[in-house]
A and B are shown apart, each in its own frame.
Chain A
Amino acid sequence: MSRTFVGMPASPPPAHPAFPKAARDAVRNPTLRENLRHATHTIRAKRAKAVAELSDWAGLREAGRRIKDHTLHHLDRYLEQLEESVTAAGGTVHWAADAEEANRIVAALVKETGESEVVKVKSMATQEIGLNEALEAEGIRAYETDLAELIVQLGKDRPSHILVPAIHRNRGEIRDIFRAEMGAWGRPAPEGLSDTPAELAEAARLHLREKFLRAKVGISGANFMVAETGTLVVVESEGNGRMCLTLPETLISVVGIEKVVPTWRDLEVFLQTLPRSSTAERMNPYTSMWTGTTDGDGPRTFHLVLLDNGRTDTLADRVGRQALRCIRCSACLNVCPVYERAGGHAYGSVYPGPIGAILSPQLRGTASEIDASLPYASTLCGACYEVCPVAIDIPEVLVHLRERVVQGGPAVRRGDKVVLKPAKGHAAERAAMRAARWAFTHPGALRAGQRLASRTRRLHPRALPGPGRAWSGTRDLPAVPAEPFRDWWQRTQGESGEQGAGK
C-alpha cells in the first residue's frame, strides 16, 4: 500500500517555530549562554576522564552497537519473549500504538486503583507522550520527583536536556523558583533558602518526602528491559526512582519498544557505558532491577505499557533506524557546539540536541516547520558520533533526513508506506544546487564564471544585501583573487597536465 502523503505525523505537529528562529533568542540570552556553557563544559571534561579509565571502551561501544542492532533486527521476537517473561513473573503487559493509546491505558489503570495522584520518576517516554497533561485532564495529579523535573514542573517550564531537564537554569534561578512555587504544590521551601546546591537538594528532599511516603501509585519508564528474564532496569541518582519503584502498591512502567535487550548478560555492557557517558560516574548512585512482582517486597501490581509512537516507522528506515539504539545518555548533547549555543528549547521536542535532531523528525515525521528544520541544526562536526556509546552515526542520519526533507520519497508513517513530497521552502536552494551541479560537470562554464568573478572583483562588496546578510551580517566575505588557480596553472605550467575525462 502506498499513497502520497503530506501531513499527519504520528503525534500532532508541534506548533513550534523552525530551529533557526527558535535558536536566535537563546543565542542572544547571555545568562542562558553562560549556564549552558558552564554545565556542558563541566561534564565534557568529566566524561572524557571517566571513559579514559576503561581501556576496552571501544570494545564496549562496539558490543553495545551490535547488541542493539541485533535486537532491533529481531524486535518482534524479543518483544514477544519479553511479554512472556514479564507475564510469567506476575506483571501485566499492555501495548500502545501511539501516545493517545498509552495515555488512555495509564489513566484507566490509575483510575482502577481509586487514586487521584501519582508519583513519577523521570521518564523520557512519558514526557514524549504528554502523560502528565493527559492525566491532569482525567483529574489525576502527577508529581515529578526528579530534582530537575521538579524544577521544570514548579517553574511551569519545558525540559531542555535529556538527563538534566533544567540545565538552562542556574542555582540562583532554581532557588527563586523553589521559594516562589513550592508552597502551592505542598511543603514550602525552607526559610532563608540559599542557592548552594546542597541546600537546594535538601529543599527538594523535604518537599517530596511526604508525597513519596503516601503514594499508592508510581509511574516510571525504564532504561532496559531484559527479554529472557523479564527484568526492568531503572538507572538513577537521587533515590526518587527507588521511592517510586518500591513504596507504592501499584507500579506502571511506560517503556519504548526499543528498550529491550535479549539477555541478562547484555546489561554488563550498558551498565558500564551508560553512567560514564551520562553523568561521567563509574556508576550512578542507584540502579533498580525488578522482575514482575515479588511477594512482600515492593508493588503488588505491576503493569508494563510497551510504546510504539513512531518507533516502528523509524525502524522501517534502513539508515534512520540506528537512532533506536539510543540509550538516552545525553553525551551527544553535552558535547554539541550547536546545543551549547541554541539551548534545548530550540529543538521543540523532549529530545533536544543531536539525538533529538534525528529522533524527532523520525518519530513525528518531517511535516511540521520545526521537524523539517531539525536535520539542519548541525554543522556535521561529528563530535556527537565520537562520544556516542552505541556508535549512532548522527551526522549520517542528519544528512539522510535532509534528503528526505528536500527530496521527499518513500517513508513509513503510522505503519503505512507513504511517499513524502519535498518540503516547501527549498525551491530556490534546489535550483541553485542543480545549477551548481551543471556548472561543476561543465568545467568550461565553471572557468568562465571564475574569470568573470575575478575580472569584476574590484566591484565586489565585502558585505551582501538581502538574503546574503545571513553570511555577511557577521562575517566579511573573502576578497576574490585576481585570477583563479587554474589560470595561474595554465599560464605557468602550460597544458602539460592530464585533462582527465572532463566534459
Chain B
Amino acid sequence: MSSRDRVLGRVRRALADVTPHDGPYEEAVGRDYLREHGERTTGRTVELLAENLADYRAIVHRAGAEELPDLVARLLAGRGSREVLVPPGLPPGWLSAADVVRVQDLAESTPQRLDRVDSVVTGCAAAIAETGTIVLDGSPDQGRRRISLVPDHHICVVRVPEQVVSSVPQALERLDPVRPLTWISGPSATSDIELDRVEGVHGPRTLEVILLG
C-alpha cells in the first residue's frame, strides 16, 4: 500500500462518525464578520494606510506624478545609493532624475551580486489600509521576489487611491493566487528577543513607501 493510500485510508476511517456535507462550501461555513472595519472616504482610507505603514516604521512620502522623479532621486541620494535594482517594467520616468547606476535583475545575476546593490525601486499590486501592508505580485513593475528582498533599502510606489483597499478580505479578492505574492508590512522585524518587536533583520531594513497620486 502506498503511503498516500495509507494516510487517506486512516483519514476516512477516522471520520466514520461524520456525516459529510454535500451542499455548497459557503453554506457549510457561514461568515459572520465584516468585509472592512468602519466606513471611510477614499481619502481617509489612504490616510489610514499612511498611518499604519508609519506605525510599523515604514517611511511614508507623498508625491504627484510630476514630483515623483525628483522625490525618488532625493531619497536615493539621501542614502548615498549608487546602484539601484530596476524591475524590467518599471515606468522609466520614475528614475529619470536619479543619478544612479541602474542594475537589471538578469537570470545570471547571483544573489551575491544583488547583495552589493544599494537600493531597489518597485511598484506594487495592492496596499491594505487597515494593516499597513503592501503586496507585490511579481508584475513587470515589481520584478522577481528576490529583488525586493536582498537589497537593504526598498522604495515602493503605491498608486493612490486606485491600488489601495481597506481590508484583508478586499485585498484577497484583488489578488491572483497563481502569481507569487509577497505581503510586506514595514521593514523586517523580529519579536524573538523577549517578545518585543525590533526592526531590522534579514529583509530590507529601510522601507520607504511613496503614495503616488
- A positions within 8 Å CB-CB of B: 35, 38-40, 42-43, 53-56, 59-60, 62-63, 66-67, 70, 73-76, 79-80, 83, 89, 94-97, 101, 145-148, 151, 163-164, 166-167, 170-171, 174, 197-198, 200-202, 204-205, 208-209, 212-214, 226, 229, 231, 237-240, 242-243, 246-247, 257, 262-269, 271-272, 279, 281-291, 294, 296-298, 306, 308, 312-313, 315-316, 318, 321, 334, 412, 415
Contact = CB atoms under 8 A, between A and B. Distances in A.
B14 A412 contact: yes
Contacts of B189: 237-238, 285
B182 A288 contact: yes
Contacts of A208: 202
Contact of A55 (B37, B150, B193): B37
A288 B181 contact: yes
B180 A74 contact: no
A101 B195 contact: no
Chain A CB within 10 Å, residue with most, of B55, B112, B177, B196: B177
Given A94-B3, A282-B55, 6 more contacts: A63-B31, A238-B203, A257-B7, A288-B180, A289-B182, A312-B11
B28 A79 contact: no
Contacts of B183: 283, 286-289
Nearest to A215: B111
Contacts of B3: 94-97, 101
B77 interface: no
A213 B114 CA distance: 9
Contacts of B52: 282
A59 B34 contact: yes
B194 interface: yes
A212 B111 CA distance: 9
A296 B107 contact: yes
Interface string B28-45: 111111100100000000
Contact of B190 (A214, A237, A269): A237
B201 interface: yes
A76 B15 contact: yes
B9 interface: yes
A265 B8 CA distance: 25
A198 B192 contact: no
B201 A312 contact: no
A75 B15 CA distance: 9
Contacts of B192: 146-148, 151, 164, 166, 238
Nearest to B1: A97
Given A197-B196, A246-B149, A287-B183, A238 B177 contact: no
Contacts of A412: 13-14
Contact of B25 (A83, A263, A284): A263
Contacts of A285: 56, 184-189, 203
B181 A74 contact: no
A294 B195 contact: no
B149 A239 contact: yes
B130 interface: yes
A66 B194 contact: no
B31 to A, nearest CB: 5
A297 B32 CA distance: 38
Nearest to A276: B131
15 contacts: A39-B195, A73-B21, A198-B200, A239-B201, A239-B203, A265-B169, A271-B168, A285-B187, A286-B182, A290-B180, A291-B180, A297-B180, A298-B145, A312-B11, A315-B14
Closest 8 CB pairs of A and B: A239-B203, A239-B202, A59-B33, A316-B14, A312-B10, A238-B201, A283-B131, A287-B183
